[in-house]
Amino acid sequence: MVAFFAIIGLILGISVIFMGIGAATSKSSMDSRLTTVNTEEILPNADGKRKVLTKDAPVILQINFDGMIGVDSLKSTEIQQLLVESREGDFKKDRVKGLLLYMNTPGGYATDSDDIFRQILAYKKQYNVPVYAYVNGLCASGGVYIAIAADKILASNTSLIGSVGVIAPTFMNFSKVLDKIGVDTMTISAGKEKDALNPLRPWVPGEEDNYKQIISYLYNDFVNLVVEHRPNMTREKLVEEYGARIYPAPLAKEYGYIDESDVSIREAIKQLVQAAGIEDDNYQVIQLENTGWWKSLFSNKAPSFLKGEVTHRLTISPEMDLLMQNKFLYLHCPSAQ
């Protein structure tokens, strides 16, 4: 551990020096005012091949929603930065001809889900490009919220889709425990119901009403958008029958959540390329990712200079995760059902 942190300290010192040099150099360049945080990676096309083409070749931009929405690279601000950069630099001459949303997510924060959904709609309208969503695994709750921005939703046969609903982390009350062990507490607040659902005192009837109103509002908004963007789905069916359950892709197709099941990623790319009007195989599938070593150091993989992989993992249920307290979630939570 001493050696490890010594190496980290040395690297940080060298990085500070280079950042200082870079900052001094950048002042002489007008273009340096635009900060680019994502790097380009070429992915396999519909034939399963990766090609290095000229800087004017058409591009299908793949955006990976792999994980919880609202966390790390799936924050709405990160997606916004990615979309902005897809129209700058090597991509500024309308090279991006379509978006492929690769979905494998249980959902996440309601605000981020809604913001990303509206960003994709705005991008599609502004640049007149087709948007397809491809589900390979799980597309639940906030994932569905984002996917309905697509012109078409495709899925592999073993994928699971659904969970149209809203949940807040479980509120707990410890007042009886505190009474039992003889602990007194005092909360000082101003404003009616400012300390609503305070876990350190007995709750009074009705103090949860405001939270129920918010949940109801978010749920109705979610349902309305699904019904609006999925023409084979009715509000009555969604609310009264399908609820917040998840369904295998064939059933999800039958119920109207998706357009096609039993589709491979190659077939999804092929359909999107055709919809984008690309008539040959002279195109690239590109993803933009923030792969900075400093960011990766605190994610699930350590940077390459450490020669190996270090995994950091602490699994906490959504109900107990402090990051989710006081958050309203479009999230599939099996343990809460």
278-305 residue pLDDT tens:
999 999 999 998 866 545 554 554 454 4
Among candidates 167, 169, 173, 170, which has minimal Cα distance to 198?
173
For residue 181, pLDDT over 60 is answered with: yes
Q: What is the average pLDDT across 5-33?
A: 58
Confidence band of 139 (pLDDT split at 50, 70, 90): very high
Contacting residues for 146 by C-beta, under 8 A, at least 6 apart: 65, 69, 101, 103, 113, 116, 117, 120, 133
Instruction: Please tell me whether residues 260 and 315 are part of one structural domain.
Output: yes
- Work out the pLDDT band at 19, boundaries 50, 70, 90: low
> Is 194 one of the catalytic residues?
yes
Catalytic entry in 49, 92, 194, 212: 194
Residues 107 and 125 in one domain: yes
Show the CA angle centred on residue 33, arms to residues 32 and 36, nearest 5°. Answer: 70
Q: Nearest 5 degrees, angle CA 110-CA 65-CA 314? A: 80
Give the rounded percent of residues in the chain with a pLDDT score beyond 90.
Answer: 59
Q: Which of the residues 73, 86, 113, 141 is marked catalytic?
A: 141
Both 218 and 96 in one domain: the answer is yes
Name the 3-class secondary structure at 109.
strand
22 belongs to a structural domain: no
Highest mean pLDDT among 51-55, 250-254, 320-324: 250-254
pTM: predicted TM-score of the whole model, two decimal places? 0.81
Whether residues 98 and 162 fall in one domain? yes
70: left (phi over 0), alpha (psi -120 to 50) or beta: left
Residue 25 lies in a domain: no
Q: Which domain holds residue 186?
A: 172-207
Q: Which residues contact 1 (CB under 8 A, 6 or more apart)?
A: none
pLDDT of residue 271: 98
Same-domain status, 86 and 186: no
Q: Which residues contact residue 220 at a Cβ distance below 8 angstroms, ignoring those fewer than 6 apart?
A: none
CA distance 134 to 20: 43
Give the range among 79-88, 192-201, 209-218, 313-322 with minimum mean pLDDT. Answer: 313-322
Percent with pLDDT over 70 in the chain: 78
**Higher per-residue confidence, 310 vs 252:** 252
Residue 141 belongs to some domain of the structure:
yes
The reply to whether 222 and 132 lie within a common domain is yes
Q: Give me the CATH number covering residue 237.
A: 3.90.226.10
Averaged confidence pLDDT in the chain: 85
Instruction: Evaluate whether residue 263 is within a structural domain.
Output: yes
Lowest model confidence (mean pLDDT) among 154-158, 183-187, 196-200, 295-299: 295-299
Q: Give 104-114 pLDDT, tens digit per residue.
A: 999 999 999 99
For residues 332 and 246, what is the distance between their CA atoms, to the nearest angstrom?
A: 9
- Does residue 24 form part of some domain? no
Query: What confidence score (pLDDT) does residue 309 get?
Result: 54
Q: How confident is the model at residue 170, as a pLDDT? A: 81
* C-alpha–C-alpha distance, residues 214 and 210, integer Å: 6
Q: Mean pLDDT throughout 112-139?
A: 97
The DSSP symbol for 221 reads H
Q: What is the C-alpha to C-alpha distance for residues 68 and 84, in angstroms, rounded to an integer?
A: 22
Q: One-letter amino acid identity for 260?
A: E
Percentages of the chain per state (helix, strand, coil), in multiples of 5: 40, 15, 40
Q: What is the mean pLDDT of residues 176-185?
A: 88
If pLDDT is split at 50, 70 and 90, which confidence band does 30 have?
very low
What pLDDT is attached to residue 328?
77
Known catalytic residue at 301: no
Q: Return the pLDDT at 140.
A: 96
Confidence of residue 194 (pLDDT cuts 50, 70, 90): confident
Whether residue 304 lies inside any domain: the answer is yes
Same domain, 230 and 193: no
Query: Residue 321 in contact with residue 152, Cβ under 8 Å?
Result: no
Identify whether residues 131 and 70 lie together within a single domain. Answer: yes
In a shared domain, residues 97 and 187: no
Looking at the domain assignment, is residue 293 inside a domain? yes
Same-domain pairing of 287 and 152: yes
Q: What is the mean pLDDT of residues 15-31?
A: 53
Q: How many helices (H) and strands (E) does the chain have?
A: 10, 10
* In a domain? residue 2: no
Q: Are residues 92 and 224 in the same domain?
A: yes
For 56-76, what is each residue's pLDDT tens digit? 999 999 999 999 999 989 999
State the pLDDT confidence band at 33, using cuts at 50, 70 and 90. low
